[in-house]
Structures are given as C-alpha cells and as structure tokens.
Chain A
Amino acid sequence: MESGFGSDFGSDFGSGSGGGGKLDPGLIMEQVKVQIAVANAQELLQRMTDKCFRKCIGKPGSSLDNSEQKCIAMCMDRYMDSWNTVSRAYNSRLQRERANM
C-alpha cells in the first residue's frame, strides 16, 4: 500500500488553475477523498490483522507454519465477507429508519 498519497501537497496547489496561487477546491476534495480511502483501508487491515492473529495463532512459534498461513488466508476472506455483510445490513437499517420518518 502506497504511503505517499496526499503527503506532498505543496507541489499540487495552484497547478490546476494556471499557477495563479488560488487553491482549487476540486483538487483538494479529490486528495481528501484519497486520504480518507487510505485511512479506511488501514483501519480495516489493522482490525483484520488483530482478529486473524487471535483466531489462527496459538502459541507463537519461530515462524508461521502452513496451517497458520492457510488459516490467516481464509480468515482474511471471511473478515471481508463479514465487513460487507455488516455494511449492507447497516445500510438497509438506515434506509428503513429514514423511510419511517
């Protein structure tokens, strides 16, 4: 995962509007969206790593053995499935709540 997204603002400002020094809101919004997406991905990875470590690693050995690696791989996929299920369920609930108002 790239860590350089949006980290260097200095060179981008003003370039979209002829370098006149005026900030381009469209550009700012795009960069903010990218940074938000990166932050969400990092959050997801952090929680996934936590959960899958708990599920798959018993007594930590000197390396990850094959069964542990297989478990982690499956765990990652199941965590994504779970995340998507939760996202859909929450979205449905929000829509239902809004429809009832």
Chain B
Amino acid sequence: AREGRGAAAAGDTGGTGMDAPSAAGLGGADPQLQRFIEVETQKQRFQQLVHQMTELCWEKCMDKPGPKLDSRAETCFVNCVERFIDTSQFILNRLEQTQKSKSAFSESLSD
C-alpha cells in the first residue's frame, strides 16, 4: 500500500521537478530494500518540503509568538502552502512552455 503522505504520483507537486532516483542501484537486488528506499525517499522529500515551507511561511505569517496560533495565522499558513505549490507548478509549466515555443531557449541560457 502506498503511503499517503510522501508517495506523490507522477505529477509531483513537490516542486523539485526531479524524479525519485531509481532504487535499483541502491539496495542491490533485494526488492524489499528497494521498495523501502523508494518509500523512505518519498517521505523525506515530503519532510524536507514541510521544513522549508514552515520556515518561509513563518516569516510571512507570524508576527509575535503568542499563547496559541490564532485562526488568522493558521489561515495564512494554509494559504502560504497552497500558493507555494502553485508557484512551483507555475514555474515548471511556464518553463516547459518557453522551451516548446522557443527552441533557442536553451541557447539563450548559456549566453
């Protein structure tokens, strides 16, 4: 059974744009170890992004730490996560479009 949190499907919104490295080289021929590595890698990507977004969104959403997280701050954090992922997807999509429409894109990158 796939883990709910970390096992993002092909359309990964994690924002890295990188596919999980093939576990075939790691763990050798043992399929149990391979599977374990895949799952743990996904879980770690999730964790890393939570760390990163918490840090970013803290700057945007938290003024003075109070006795509890008020609803306004909580909403801000939720929005922040959503907008961060939207931003990541937007960047990937636009990059893809730019590369399709301008074949010289990769050349202009190396200027």
The yes or no verdict on A and B being binding partners is yes
Q: Is A40 an interface residue (CB 8 A)?
A: yes
Closest 3 CB pairs of A and B: A89-B81, A75-B65, A81-B69
What 0/1 readout, one digit per residue, does chain A (73-101) give for beta carbons within 8 Å of chain B? 01101110111011101110111011001
A interface SS class: helix
How far in angstroms is the closest Cβ of chain A from B110? 33
- Complexed CA–CA distance, A51 and B5 (Å): 26
A38–B80 Cα distance when bound, in Å, is: 27
15 A–B pairs (Cβ distance < 8 Å), ordered by A: A25-B30, A25-B33, A51-B58, A55-B62, A56-B65, A77-B65, A78-B62, A78-B65, A82-B62, A82-B73, A86-B57, A90-B85, A97-B8, A97-B9, A98-B9
The bracket for how many chain B residues form the interface is 35 or more
Using a CB–CB cutoff of 8 Å, the interface residues on chain A facing chain B are 25, 28-29, 32-33, 36, 40, 43-44, 47, 51-52, 55-56, 71, 74-75, 77-79, 81-83, 85-87, 89-91, 93-95, 97-98, 101
* CB-based nearest A residue for B44: A36
